[in-house]
Amino acid sequence: MLSYEQANFIWQLSFLCIVSFSYAIYRKYYDLALVPFFVWISSMIYWSDHLTTWKRHLDMVVVGLAMVWQVFRAWFAERWFLYYMILVFAMTCYILSAELETVDTWLSTFAHGFLHVFANLSNVILNSGYVPSLF
């Protein structure tokens, strides 16, 4: 169980989604902008009260669906390889965070924080290149 300070740390890092959202809007990748926007909303809901189970499940479903969409869209993108490599770092941070949860909650919190950093960095990298339209 995370302390208030640890949950607040992750809540603050959730605002990185605004950066990748804004950049996707700037690049006119509107469907890709929805991904960090909805992840940000679900993170705000969950991390404002991280003790509520349904909020955690909602956040996990939104993030999972968002990631499936991004991974699909990245397949045909100009910067697909770098996007996937950075995404692997993000997923590694998620796994590390889960593994460290019973060992040291602050290390787990920092690992989860790096998940937010790398996931948003991968979004910016994806959006910085050409992503073909679906239509």
Which pLDDT band, with edges at 50, 70 and 90, does 52 fall under? confident
Q: Which residues have CB under 8 Å from 123's CB, separation 6+?
A: 20, 23, 24, 32, 35, 36, 70
47 assigned to some structural domain: yes
135 assigned to some structural domain: no
> Per-residue pLDDT for 120 more than 90?
yes
* Residue 20 tokens, joined: 């990748």
* Residue 38 tokens, joined: 């909805």
Report how far residue 6's alpha carbon sits from residue 12's, in angstroms, rounded to the nearest whole number. 10
Report how far residue 83's alpha carbon sits from residue 71's, in angstroms, rounded to the nearest whole number. 9
Give percent above pLDDT 90 in the chain: 92
**Domain total of the chain:** 1
97 assigned to some structural domain: yes
- Over the stretch 84-105, which tens digit does the pLDDT of each residue have? 999 999 999 999 999 999 999 9
Integer Rg of the chain from CA: 15
Report how far residue 103's alpha carbon sits from residue 80's, in angstroms, rounded to the nearest whole number. 35
The predicted structure's pLDDT at residue 70: 95
> Per-residue pLDDT for 61 more than 80?
yes
Rounded to two decimals, the pTM is 0.93
Q: Which domain holds residue 78?
A: 4-128
133 assigned to some structural domain: no
Tell me the mean pLDDT in the region 58-63. Answer: 96
3-class SS of residue 102? coil
134 assigned to some structural domain: no
